[in-house]
Structure 1
């Protein structure tokens, strides 16, 4: 994709209008006891100290590294197959951008936190703007059967992309409690909103919504009114684990104890600086390596970097620090790596 083609996704998304939901306040009907206080969800066993006041302190003092205005990614050499394989044990993973990953589990096409918009913001004219082209053109996506949607932040829940996918494929969107209200408001009705540790069947697959250490909100009245989480797809040929957006915490070990070592883990490595503010809710590469070890993952893929400048580290820092963290922990780089946008590998 070249600079002249960078708005190709925007042209496809332009007919979908996102409602401004800055003042919405989702109502939770089925409220859990342990991580719901009657008004808001909370992380278990930890105080993230990631408050609005801390955010103001960061915004006043931040010193972000310089990022390029635009980087052309090499185009994907071929479109992903509509059906990767008839064999459930035959997997392929393709990195799209940010936290968007296409995982093909035999004939099943699963997409995580799909974002094709140029900006991750309540509006299309301001807010964090992409600086790197998407690895797969939107209309080159194979038919999507399921979307794993970790939470409602704009760089993870891109409502226009989800509206486009719903119009074309009507995939099942699996997400946390309360996020369904955001989707329903835009005519997206094929949604399963679940509490932590709940699951549903999708053909031969079972999809679980699991804990993460993070927060939620799309406006000024809805902070932590919807549930964030990670997701796991269980099959007879192994498990896919998608960490979503999370700080490092005990949930990784708990998930490994429940499900065993995932065959493929998608772990965030970017948007981590400064650590005093981002540390509780965003892993850095060293945290991601610890999570990989807790999970005992066969292979982990680093995500959540390289696309939008959300925090203060340099664009190249996550990959550089991941290499250092793997060496420091004695983890073979063959078991934890990154892919370029549009690049794929067997999983």
Structure 2
């Protein structure tokens, strides 16, 4: 039987009864907060000419938000995708609120797609097939990609691999995995630390707040940019075991010791009960409360790029 994975603290996801209470019983009883499925989210046209050429060694890293948890990460002459989802909907149920920041047909050549875990809003097989790049992901995922004829490198937590001159580390997150009724926690979930010659980057994947952020910061000091989720948190009684709210994401940023905060996992898909545009408002309020430098906080528009480097 395949390994059943657990979080660092030994926890596992909610049982079916708890999921039913949130998804069905609370909805029918009118106990869930209601908010629109659509709202305006900032989007800019990407600079495709610039994206065609990744930064060379020593020039730092260019990060382009494609929406949700999807990023184009370019450094040391290499272009990577993290959790690319270009589909118009998830299972024809949850529809995109905003188009992808870069259409898949206009991407530069991609050296690898990094997949944090197997949930459908992070592992979208049609998108990965369309890109056609080799996969880097957690343990247990290979059968998915064998069927799609995509080469796959599986990593355990704290494991590493090379993509050209770039090193990719797979690190823990506080979450869970499932793609069918019979495979709960059979595939590992996590985040990534991506290292080049002049930039060290962190993408958390999906995660609740947990003590692991301090350990990641200890093992990989000097993170230049942390891509952290700020949405899909309401109601807290159900979501706090698997997702962070904006205030917890700010605390995670502090624990990591990172130089820049890049917000993600908001505005693209209506997965939970909070309004789609609420997360960045709460993030801004918390940042202001802490009186932290504004130049460290980046809530990019979909399609917008930011270049970061050591120092």
Compute the TM-score of the two structures, normalised by the length of structure 2.
Answer: 0.92
Q: Which moved more, 1:87-96 or 1:249-258?
A: 87-96
Q: Who is 2:55 aligned against?
A: 85
Q: How far off is 1:82 after superposition? A: 2.1
CA-atom RMSD in angstroms: 1.8
The yes-or-no answer on 1:286 pairing with 2:247 is yes
Q: Who is 2:202 aligned against?
A: 241
Which of the residues 126, 144, 149 maps onto 1:187? 149
Checking the alignment, whether the CA contact within 8 Å between 1:98 and 1:304 is kept in structure 2 is yes
1:247-266 residue pairs with structure 2 within 5 A?
A: 247-266=208-227
Q: Secondary structure at the match of 2:262?
A: strand
Quote the Cα distance in structure 2 between the aligned partners of 1:299 and 1:72.
22
**Residue segments in structure 1 that go unaligned for 5+ positions in a row:** 1-26, 29-38
Checking the alignment, whether the CA contact within 8 Å between 2:167 and 2:194 is kept in structure 1 is yes
The yes-or-no answer on 1:65 pairing with 2:34 is yes
Q: Who is 2:6 aligned against?
A: 42
Checking the alignment, whether the CA contact within 8 Å between 1:96 and 1:135 is kept in structure 2 is yes
Q: Secondary structure at the match of 1:223?
A: coil
Q: Who is 1:76 aligned against?
A: 45
Checking the alignment, whether the CA contact within 8 Å between 1:73 and 1:133 is kept in structure 2 is no
Which of the residues 123, 126, 151 maps onto 1:157? 123
Q: Which moved more, 1:90-99 or 1:314-323?
A: 90-99
- The Cα offsets for residues 239-295 of structure 1, whole Å up to 9 and x where unpaired, read as 111100000101110011111021111100001111111001101101110110011
Quote the Cα distance in structure 1 between the aligned partners of 2:249 and 2:240.
12
Q: How far off is 1:235 after superposition? A: 2.2
Q: Who is 1:118 aligned against?
A: 88
1:3-22 residue pairs with structure 2 within 5 A?
A: none
**Residue segments in structure 2 that go unaligned for 5+ positions in a row:** none
Quote the Cα distance in structure 1 between the aligned partners of 2:98 and 2:145.
27
Checking the alignment, whether the CA contact within 8 Å between 1:300 and 1:336 is kept in structure 2 is yes
Q: Which moved more, 1:331-340 or 1:157-166?
A: 331-340
Checking the alignment, whether the CA contact within 8 Å between 2:69 and 2:264 is kept in structure 1 is yes
Q: Who is 2:281 aligned against?
A: 320
Q: Secondary structure at the match of 2:95?
A: coil
Quote the Cα distance in structure 2 between the aligned partners of 1:42 and 1:330.
37
Checking the alignment, whether the CA contact within 8 Å between 2:104 and 2:131 is kept in structure 1 is no
1:74-223 residue pairs with structure 2 within 5 A?
A: 74-79=43-48, 80-121=50-91, 126-166=92-132, 171-188=133-150, 190-223=151-184
Moved over 3 A (4+): 68-75
